[in-house]
């Protein structure tokens, strides 16, 4: 039998055949591969160069074109980032520059780059509130119906075309229904009501009834056949300051975020977290005519990751655990020792923006927007999930959301907050990818 010899690496107990040792210089294959990897990494570090694709580029449209261009991977090149992210550059575009980007998106579409074209159009719609009415015939010509929000400002002609097409086009029906929901005008509301009363033959092929598609666009068809919006069209970003807010500034803020609640969760025993306190006269909730001075939303971050958490409003607007809560079965085995309170460190830096932003600014999660906000349309990571009020069974109104990725380097997911003003009940929902 051929005698095996030890690997020459320190702390390696492997033995190898003489033939292997001859090829690798006396090292086992794993150690040899690790040495080669280190050599390659050292070469890369020594010869890597920085490349600034934005050097000398002041035109924001040209900056965005570079941002949207995928660069071929080269380990010897380190591309320097632009000082602003894509969301910030888009948000600062002038009307003229936004139109230039729209034209560029259509050029890309004609050239066959559908993914980048849709990405640009979505960004213009969300960040700049650009109307895409003139782009829709081109999108239809390429059979691009998703995301449905692209059709939000469709003309009556395009709307009628989609209504006719949804009856025949089984392949695109799901996306067509979403587009129709985003159009959501009186004609669409009437048609959704008709489909609810008399389901079409093709409705059996869907996972939900046609009228339920309206939830993805932020509205609900009432029993009377009237559109009821489920979010405030006045939205304010929740911003994170570089330094903690001074006491005087914080005292005058219309909202406070991420504090400790006064109660403990009866399911897991961990303390409640107060996600938000918001003054009832803030523009995002003013129309709700809330009686208490502060709207307060508590939840259990542990159990709230698995179930809707309802809270009832008591004296002075203080939340209390609702008996309507139903624990998930079986209740997850929660290790409270693993709770990460890193989010609390961000609390003193959080404040509401002074000026509102487009209600649809953060609607598209794939754009990776700064999603934390009060009011505006939710940023659904999964399907739309407006919880039903346990008292009246109506879908609850969305009021705010906190994006955990903005609170710490390892944060993920979004906590959504809702209210039923009539029954004075709040709810929280959590989603993550």
Same domain, 277 and 182: no
Same domain, 208 and 276: no
- Would you say residue 241 lies in a domain? yes
Q: Which of 174, 200, 229 is the last residue in one of the domains?
A: 229
Strand partners, 398: 418
Same domain, 329 and 376: yes
Helices (H) and strands (E) in the chain, counts: 12, 17
- Would you say residue 353 lies in a domain? yes
- Would you say residue 9 lies in a domain? yes
Phi, psi of 47 (to 5 degrees): -110, -5
- Would you say residue 109 lies in a domain? no
Q: Which of 211, 229, 247 is the last residue in one of the domains?
A: 229
Check the CA dihedral 268-272-275-276 and report its sign: positive
Written as six digits, the tokens of 303 are: 């159990």
Q: For the range 99-103, what are the long-range contacts, defined as Cβ-Cβ under 8 Å and sequence gap of 24 or more? A: 99/130, 100/61, 101/61, 101/64, 102/130, 102/132, 102/135
Q: What is the pLDDT of residue 243?
A: 87
Written as six digits, the tokens of 384 are: 């739309």
Nearest to 402 by CA among 366, 428, 426: 428
Q: What is the pLDDT of residue 337?
A: 46
Q: Which residue is associated with the tokens 């695109």? A: 172
Interior angle at CA 140, CA 137 and CA 142, nearest 5? 115
Spell out the residues 6+ positions from residue 21 whose beta carbon is closer than 8 angstroms to its own. Answer: 5, 27
- Would you say residue 98 lies in a domain? no
Q: How far are the Cα atoms of 56, 92, 103, 232 from residue 100, in angstroms, in the given order?
A: 20, 14, 5, 31
- Tens-level pLDDT at each residue, the chain (433 residues): 578 999 999 999 999 999 999 999 999 999 999 999 999 999 999 999 999 999 999 999 999 999 999 999 999 999 999 999 999 999 999 999 999 999 999 999 999 999 999 999 999 999 999 999 999 999 999 999 999 999 999 999 999 999 999 999 999 999 999 999 999 999 999 999 999 999 999 999 999 999 999 999 999 999 999 999 999 999 999 999 888 887 766 778 899 999 988 889 999 888 999 999 999 999 999 888 888 889 999 999 989 999 999 999 987 789 999 999 998 777 766 655 445 567 788 889 999 999 999 999 999 999 999 999 999 999 999 999 999 999 999 999 999 999 999 988 888 999 999 999 999 999 999 999 9
Q: Can you tell me the distance from the alpha carbon of 236 to that of 182, in angstroms, rounded to the nearest whole number? A: 21
Q: What is the pLDDT of residue 329?
A: 77
Q: What is the pLDDT of residue 231?
A: 98
Q: How far is CA 214 from the centre of its chain?
A: 19
- Would you say residue 91 lies in a domain? no
Same domain, 292 and 391: yes
Same domain, 396 and 288: yes
Q: How far are the Cα atoms of 53, 65, 110, 120 from residue 104, in angstroms, in the given order?
A: 19, 9, 10, 9
Same domain, 198 and 342: no
Same domain, 284 and 251: yes
Q: Please write the tens of the pLDDT for every residue from 126-150.
A: 999 999 999 999 999 999 999 999 9
Same domain, 214 and 336: no
Q: What is the pLDDT of residue 246?
A: 79
Q: What is the DSSP string of 263-301?
A: EE-TTT-PEEEEEEEEETTSTTTGGG--SSSEEEEEE-T
Same domain, 249 and 309: yes
pTM of the model: 0.91
Burial of 156 (0-12, 13-18, 19+ CB in 10 A): exposed
Omega cis (within 30) before 50: no
Q: Can you tell me the distance from the alpha carbon of 5 to that of 219, in angstroms, rounded to the nearest whole number? A: 73
Burial of 193 (0-12, 13-18, 19+ CB in 10 A): middle
Q: How far is CA 129 from the centre of its chain?
A: 18
- Would you say residue 117 lies in a domain? no
Q: Which of 79, 96, 111 is the last residue in one of the domains?
A: 79
- Would you say residue 118 lies in a domain? no
Same domain, 358 and 217: no
Q: Can you tell me the distance from the alpha carbon of 19 to that of 32, in angstroms, rounded to the nearest whole number? A: 14
Structural domain count of the chain: 3
Residues of the domain holding 158: 131-229
Same domain, 189 and 266: no
Same domain, 354 and 425: yes
């Amino acid at each position: 039998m051929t005698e095996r010899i030890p690997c020459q690496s320190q702390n390696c107990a492997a033995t190898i055949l003489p033939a292997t040792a001859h090829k690798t210089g006396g090292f086992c294959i794993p150690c040899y591969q690790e040495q080669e990897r280190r050599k390659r990494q050292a070469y890369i570090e020594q010869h890597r160069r920085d490349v600034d694709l934005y050097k000398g580029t002041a035109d924001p449209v040209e900056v965005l074109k570079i941002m949207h261009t995928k660069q071929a991977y080269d380990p010897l090149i380190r591309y320097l980032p632009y000082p602003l992210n894509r969301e910030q550059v888009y948000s600062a575009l002038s009307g003229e520059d936004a139109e230039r980007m729209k034209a560029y998106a259509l050029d890309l579409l004609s050239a066959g780059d559908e993914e980048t074209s849709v990405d640009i159009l979505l960004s213009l719609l969300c960040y700049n509130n650009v109307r895409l009415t003139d782009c829709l015939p081109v999108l239809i010509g390429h059979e691009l119906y998703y995301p449905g929000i692209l059709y939000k400002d469709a003309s009556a002609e395009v709307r009628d075309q989609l209504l006719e097409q949804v009856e025949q086009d089984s392949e695109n029906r799901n996306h067509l229904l979403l587009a129709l929901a985003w159009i959501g005008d009186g004609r669409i509301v009437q048609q959704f009501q008709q489909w609810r009363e008399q389901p079409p033959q093709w409705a059996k092929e869907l996972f939900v009834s046609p009228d339920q598609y309206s939830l993805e666009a932020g509205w609900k068809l009432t029993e009377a056949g009237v559109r009821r919006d489920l979010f405030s069209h006045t939205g304010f970003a929740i911003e994170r300051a570089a330094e903690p807010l001074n006491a005087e500034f914080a005292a005058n803020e219309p909202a406070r975020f991420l504090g400790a609640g006064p109660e403990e969760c009866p399911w897991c025993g961990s303390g409640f977290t107060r996600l938000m306190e918001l003054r009832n006269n803030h523009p995002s909730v003013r129309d709700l005519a809330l009686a208490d001075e502060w709207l307060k939303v508590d939840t259990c971050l542990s159990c709230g990751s698995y179930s809707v958490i309802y809270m009832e409003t008591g004296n002075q607007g203080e939340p209390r655990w609702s008996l309507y809560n139903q624990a998930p079965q079986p209740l997850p085995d929660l290790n409270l020792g693993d709770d990460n309170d890193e989010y609390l460190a961000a609390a003193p830096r959080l404040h509401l923006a002074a000026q509102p932003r487009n209600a649809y600014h953060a609607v598209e999660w794939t754009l990776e927007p700064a999603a934390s906000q009060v009011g505006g349309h939710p940023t659904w990571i999964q399907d739309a999930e407006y919880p039903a009020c346990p008292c009246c069974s109506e879908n609850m109104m969305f009021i705010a959301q906190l994006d955990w990725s903005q609170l710490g380097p390892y944060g993920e997911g979004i906590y959504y907050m809702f209210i039923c003003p009539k029954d004075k009940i709040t709810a929280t929902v959590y989603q993550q990818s």
